[in-house]
Amino acid sequence: MTTTVSEKIFVKGNEAVAMAALEAGCSCYFGYPITPQSDIPEYLSRELPKRGGVFIQAESEIGAINMVLGASAAGARAMTSSSGPGISLKQEGISYMAGSELPGVIVDVMRQGPGLGGIDASQADYWQATKGGGHGGYRIIVLAPNSVQEMYDLTMRAFDLSDFYRIPAMVLADSVIGQMKESIVANPRLAAMLPAKDWAVRGRAEGTPQNVVKSLKLGDGEMEKHHWMMHARYQELADKECRWEEIDTADAKLIVTAFGSTSRIARTAVAMARAEGMKVGLMRPITLFPFPKQAYATLSERCKLFLDIELSTGQMVDDVRLAVARDAEVAFYGRPPGTGSLPTPEEIYEQIKKQCRA
């Protein structure tokens, strides 16, 4: 057996996303410039044509997501990327993709909002990403990297999950993770057991059934059945695909919980607290949908105090409170997104001390 050992390379988070997309066999990218994610279309505009792939800078985010819809319907691995204002525009297309059971990867490098907001990091699009985002009552797969390595690994994972479950998948990053450089190992793609895309439009050759990719369901009971089918897939995702990381939780009296860039800051603060002898751990959800509810429930059987940290006034905290045992307390410390509002490790450490004293 031969194993390939990849060399370490030093790249930006956004570049890691683009590299992973190529490794994952993404042949079609459609996007529109917006800070802080423009490195992704820039990279792919250079690299995709060399490999016979398709790169189009669309007329709008709406155009881009609908090109993803069309390419995905034809069986291709397709991707788009954007940030808050653009992700809002894509919600129409994402809803249609969800309704049409189409895979596709959407990368959201979060920036401040609402409105034009600003280009610094934010986690205030957690609700938009994890609760459906568009109309009609659906969910998409949401993966939250906290390092450049995970930008690479989770982008590749997003393509496989999306193809397997026929649900759009989002990589939910932010401008800190997208813009920072770290060393990574660009692992080769692992072979995944994926079902054939026999539903894709290819032209109805003789003897093959007509394939129709659509979300209009007017038949008696047809839409209700479709919703229950989607619901069952979400349950299957929850049963099989939850991912999270725990650090020092075994004996913890306080568990700090955070995702994405905030979890990196929290990790430093937890280490500072441990160095001072405080029994503090970290719980970091990697999949935001499916949310690792069971993992929180299990942790809360032995640890009754949680501290949720977010770069918002509190969104994921709702899901944490729903997931933990009834007698567990969930405190919250957040900073709304904005220039200068990224908390320091010392700031979070002070919050940990406050909770440990209480």
Which residue number, 201 or 297, has a Cβ lying nearer to another protein? 201
107 contacts: CB under 8 Å, gap ≥ 6: 17, 37, 40, 79, 80, 81, 82, 155, 170, 171, 173
Cβ pair 55, 48 in contact under 8 A: yes
Provide the minimum distance between the beta carbon of 44 and another protein in the complex, in angstroms, as a whole number: 14
Report DSSP letters for 263-312, one per residue.
HHHHHHHHHHHHHTT--EEEEEESEEES--HHHHHHHHHH--EEEEEESS
67 part of the interface to another protein, by CB under 8 A: yes
Q: What are phi and psi of 337, to 5 degrees?
A: -60, 145
d(CA 213, CA 100): 6
Applying CB under 8 A, which part among 12-20, 69-77, 249-257, 348-356 lies near another protein? Answer: 69-77
Which residue number, 30 or 126, has a Cβ lying nearer to another protein? 30
122 part of the interface to another protein, by CB under 8 A: no
d(CA 143, CA 250): 25
Provide the minimum distance between the beta carbon of 218 and another protein in the complex, in angstroms, as a whole number: 9
Which residue number, 99 or 343, has a Cβ lying nearer to another protein? 99
Calculate the CA 17 to chain-centre distance.
12
Q: What are phi and psi of 279, to 5 degrees?
A: -85, 85
Applying CB under 8 A, which part among 143-151, 213-221, 274-282, 290-298 lies near another protein? Answer: 213-221
61 contacts: CB under 8 Å, gap ≥ 6: 32, 34, 80, 82, 86, 87, 89, 90
* Cα dist from 65 to 183, 319, 347, whole Å: 31, 28, 39
Please list every residue from 149 through 208 that binds another protein, using CB under 8 A: 201-206
Which residue bears the tokens 């690479």? Answer: 152
Provide the minimum distance between the beta carbon of 75 and another protein in the complex, in angstroms, as a whole number: 7
Please list every residue from 76 through 115 that binds another protein, using CB under 8 A: 76, 78, 92-93, 96, 100
16 part of the interface to another protein, by CB under 8 A: no
Q: Which stretch of DSSP H or E encloses residue 108?
A: strand 105-110
Longest C-alpha distance within the chain, in Å?
A: 74
Provide the minimum distance between the beta carbon of 39 and another protein in the complex, in angstroms, as a whole number: 23
Which residue number, 227 or 264, has a Cβ lying nearer to another protein? 227
Q: Which of 72, 88, 162, 263 binds another protein (CB under 8 A)?
A: 72
How many binding residues for another protein (CB under 8 A)?
40
Provide the minimum distance between the beta carbon of 303 and another protein in the complex, in angstroms, as a whole number: 46
3-state secondary structure of 71: helix
Provide the minimum distance between the beta carbon of 100 and another protein in the complex, in angstroms, as a whole number: 7
3-state secondary structure of 257: strand
325 part of the interface to another protein, by CB under 8 A: no
Q: Which of 215, 268, 298, 341 binds another protein (CB under 8 A)?
A: 215
Which residue number, 203 or 221, has a Cβ lying nearer to another protein? 203
Interaction mask 21-60, another protein, x per CB under 8 A? ------xx-x-----------------------x-x-xxx
Provide the minimum distance between the beta carbon of 166 and another protein in the complex, in angstroms, as a whole number: 15
Cβ pair 94, 140 in contact under 8 A: yes
1 part of the interface to another protein, by CB under 8 A: no
Applying CB under 8 A, which part among 66-74, 149-157, 263-271, 341-349 lies near another protein? Answer: 66-74
Residues that bind another protein (CB under 8 A): 27-28, 30, 54, 56, 58-60, 62-64, 66-76, 78, 92-93, 96, 100, 201-206, 210-216
